[in-house]
Amino acid sequence: MSLEASLLFDVGGRIALVTGGGTGLGLTAALALASNGAKVYISGRRKERLDEAVSEYSDKVLPGSLIAIQGDVSSKESLACIAETIRRDEGKLDILVNNAASHTSSYTSSVINITSISGMVKVSQSHYAYNASKAAANHLTQMLAHELKFKCNLPLRINAIAPGLFSSEMTSSGKSEKGKTNSEDVKDHFNPAGRVGSEHEYAQVILLLACNTFITGQIIAVDGGFLTAVPANR
């Protein structure tokens, strides 16, 4: 039995799509997969940002690769175009990371929805629509994991990552370098870790759900202990 990390988290040769993959945690997820051998399509509405991401990391030695594919997930036509492009060029899709085919019996495909711990708390946090949409995404993840397996018999694993406060453009307070949140920004957020999550810690969970074929239908909160520190929120 081999327990080397390179084998435990091996996504070499897998085909992945990361929506919203040009910036922030979406790009982190894409790089985590490409750095471990996957061929990763990153999609988003801003073609120039996608091209910048591919250009920035194409000079680095990645075991896998990044490929930009422009598309708007709010448009059915755009989604169909993305799906057709990957079907035509690859013939399959092994990993889908919803940040914004054919299958084999030896490797079930993985869908990873990116939600938020905001969908797991009872308080509104002054943004009702956002929290409600993330709660719906969490529930949809679990329903699809059940329905697609037991009613459609599809070899899909569907899980969600619910991040807490991470270093990204979305959580920026404007104080940090390159628009990223730093540990000073979490002092009032009841976070036992006392800091924001790192890109490496986020990447570890992406690889876990991409590789571990025994996990499905789960919502994994990666929040530095926020939900345990504020139990009244749950």
| 89-103 pLDDT per residue, tens | 999 999 999 997 444
pLDDT at 7: 80
- The domain locations on the chain are 5-98, 109-228
> For 62-84, how does the pLDDT look when each residue is reduced to its tens digit (9 = 90+)?
899 999 999 999 899 999 999 99
The CATH superfamily of 109-228 is: NAD(P)-binding Rossmann-like Domain (3.40.50.720)
Structure tokens at 65: 């690769």
DSSP 192: T
Nearest to 4 by CA among 211, 234, 233: 211
pLDDT at 233: 62
- What are the two backbone dihedrals, phi and then psi, of residue 220, each rounded to the nearest 5 degrees? -105, 110
pLDDT at 2: 74
Instruction: Identify which has the larger pLDDT, 3 or 89.
Output: 89
> For 7-65, how does the pLDDT look when each residue is reduced to its tens digit (9 = 90+)?
888 899 999 999 999 999 999 999 999 999 999 999 999 999 999 999 999 877 789 99
**Which amino acid is residue 165, in one-letter code?**
L
**Residues facing residue 160 across a β-bridge:** 113, 219
Query: How confident is the prediction for the chain on average, in pLDDT?
Result: 87
Question: Could you give the CA distance from residue 106 to residue 96 in angstroms, rounded to a whole number?
Answer: 18
**Which pLDDT band holds residue 182 (cuts at 50, 70, 90)?**
low
pLDDT at 102: 43
State the pTM of this model. Answer: 0.81
**Residues facing residue 39 across a β-bridge:** 15, 65
- Runs of H (alpha helix) within the chain: 5-8, 24-34, 47-58, 76-90, 128-150, 199-211, 226-229
Task: Please state which CATH class domain 5-98 belongs to.
Answer: alpha beta
Structure tokens at 146: 């059940």
> For 113-170, how does the pLDDT look when each residue is reduced to its tens digit (9 = 90+)?
999 999 999 888 888 999 999 999 999 999 999 999 999 999 899 999 999 998 765 5
Q: In what order do the strands lie in the sheet with 109-114?
A: 65-70, 39-44, 15-19, 95-98, 109-114, 156-163, 219-222
Say yes or no: do domains 5-98 and 109-228 share a fold.
Answer: yes
In the chain, pLDDT over 70 holds for what percent of residues? 85
